[in-house]
Amino acid sequence: MLEQALTCLVNDAAETRPLFAVRPGALAGLLDSLSPPQSRFLRQLNFRAEAQELMFLPGESGVAGAVLGLGDHTSPAAFGDLAYRLPEGAPWRLQPGDYDPAVATLGYCLGAYRYGALKAAKRAPAQLVAPGQQRSRSAAAATWMVRDLVNTPANLLGPEELAEFAVSLGRRSGACTETIAGDALTEAYPTVAAVGRGSSRAARVAFLRWSGSTAHAAAPLISLCGKGVCFDTGGYDIKPSSGMLRMKKDMGGAATVLGLARMIMEADLPVRLVVRVGCVENSISGSAMRPLDVIRTRKGITVEVGNTDAEGRLVLCDLLTDACDESPALLVDCATLTGAARVALGPDLPALFCNDDDWAETLLRHGREQHDPLWRLPLWRPYDRWLDTSIADVNNVSSKPHAGAITAALFLQRFVSPGTIWNHIDLYAWNDQTTPGHPEGGEAYGMRALFDAIAARAQGAGPDRTG
C-alpha cells in the first residue's frame, strides 16, 4: 500500500459533535456560552486552554462535545494529536474560533496518519467534518503518500517499484512518462548506473513531463530531481549495522519531489513540470563500484569515488545536468544527502542551499508561513577546492572532515548551468519520535514550503525571476 485515502475527513454528516478550539484569552467567553453544567465541569477541572489540553463535555448520552486548548500555537501541530484522542462514533465538527480552518484541517490530517500496509490498526482515527479545504486536503494526501513511500520496507519498494509508482502518479494526471534502464541508462545517466551496479535490482530513472491546463508554451518550466536510493548499505565503504537501520528512507528525496509534483498537478498550476527520479540501490557485490574508481558523468566531468557511501550526489549529478539542458526557470533537487546537515540542524530542519538570494528568501518566507521551515546554509566557494583530486576532475567527497553538507552541495553545483536558479534541499525525511502532527517514521519535510513558493510565483504573486 503506497497511498491511503484521507478517511479521517468527511464532507458532512447528519449527526456531529462540536469541537471547540480556544485560546486562553477567549476562554471566559466560551465558558459563558456553554450550558451551565458543562461550564461548571470545565471550571472545576481547571481547564486553562493551554496547548494540546483536551477536555470532553458531558451530555445525557455520554460525550457531547470537546474543547481543545490552543495556547498561543498557530501551527498545524496545535491540532495534530486529536485524531486518536477524540473518541470514535459521530464525526466531530470544529466550531468557529481564533484559528485558521485550513491549518486546523491540515494538522488534524497530519496527526491522523498511520502506516497500515503490514499491520492492522488498533483503531481508526476519529472523523472530522471538513467541507472544502482543497489545498489542505491536497497537502495532507501528498504528505501521507510521501510517508507511505518512505515507510515501506526496502524489500517491497526497490528501484523498479519506485519507478513504477512515479510513472503511475504521472499518468493519472495526464503526464507523459518514461522509464530508462539497462544500456540506455548507462548511456544517459552513467553515474546512476554506476551506483546501482552492485545490486541485483537494476537501477532506473523515472521521468514525467506535465503541463497545467492553462500553461502556454512559454510558461515557467519547473524541474524537480529526487534521490531515490531505496536502500543504502554504503557500498564497499559499508555502514555499521546501526547506520543501516533507517536506510529504507534514503529515497526520501524522491518521495518528497513526487509529493510536490502531486500537489502541483492537483492544483493545476500554470507551469510546465518535469520530474526526474533516480531509482537505485547501493549494494555490495563483485560488480559494485569501488573506492577510487573514476566515473565519467553525463556532463563529461570525471569523478573519483573517494567514498562509495557518498552515492546520493552521484545519483543526482547526471539528473541535474539533464535538467539544465532544458534551461528550466527553476531547478529543485531534494535528497537525504548528508549526516552533516543533521549534525548542524537536527532532524526537523532541512538544509537549504541556493544560488539565488531572492529565491532563497522567498522559500524561507513561505516555509515560515506554511509552518514547514527550512534553514539556509552557504555555498561557500573557498571549500570547493576540498573536492580537488589529482586523478580526476573532482572527488565525490571532501578531503577535510568539516562542512560535509556544504561540500556535497558544492559538488552538485558543478553540474548546474550558470544562470539557472537552483536550490538543493538536504533533508532527513524521518521523525525519530512521535510529536503532534508528526508520527514516528517517514516525513515530507520542505514539501509544503516548496509548493507554496512555486504556486505564488507561478500565479504572479512573487518576483518575475521564474516567469
Count CB atoms within 10 A of the CB of residue 467: 12
For residue 395, list its beta bridge partners: 304
Q: Is 313 a catalytic residue?
A: yes
Write out the DSSP string of 388-404. --SSSSEESS-SSSS-H
Residue 113, C-alpha cell as written in the block:
496518519
What are the E-state strand segments in 336-386?
351-354, 375-376
Residue 125, C-alpha cell as written in the block:
482515527
Write out the DSSP string of 412-462. HHTTSPTT--EEEEE---EESS-BTTB-SEE--TTHHHHHHHHHHHHTT-S
Phi, psi at 261, each rounded to 5° = -60, -40
Of 290, 317, 344, 348, nearest to 422 (Cα)? Answer: 317
Task: Tell me the C-alpha to C-alpha distance, in Å, between residue 437 and each of 100, 167, 441.
Answer: 16, 29, 12
With contact defined as beta carbons under 8 Å apart, do 255 and 144 qualify? no
Residue pointed to by grid coordinates 486552554? 49
Q: Which of 85, 239, 365, 465 is catalytic?
A: 239
With contact defined as beta carbons under 8 Å apart, do 205 and 189 qualify? yes
β 17-22/128-129 pair status: unpaired
Eight-class DSSP state of 91? P
β 422-426/302-304 pair status: unpaired
What are the E-state strand segments in 312-421?
330-335, 351-354, 375-376, 394-395
Question: What secondary structure, in 3-state letters, does 4-25 show?
Answer: CCCCCEECCCCCCEEEEEECHH
Q: Is 122 a catalytic residue?
A: no
- In terms of phi and psi (left: phi > 0; alpha: psi -120 to 50; beta: otherwise), the region of 133 is left
d(C-alpha 277, C-alpha 159), whole Å: 10
d(C-alpha 43, C-alpha 15), whole Å: 27
d(C-alpha 235, C-alpha 429), whole Å: 21
Identity (one letter) of the amino acid at 252?
Answer: G
Q: Which of 201, 313, 414, 457 is catalytic?
A: 313
d(C-alpha 71, C-alpha 81), whole Å: 15
Q: What angle do CA 330, 301, 421 make, to 5 degrees?
A: 15
Count CB atoms within 10 A of the CB of residue 218: 9
State the angle between helix axes of 252-266 and 447-458 in degrees (0 to 180), rounded to the nearest 10: 40
Active site residues: 239, 313
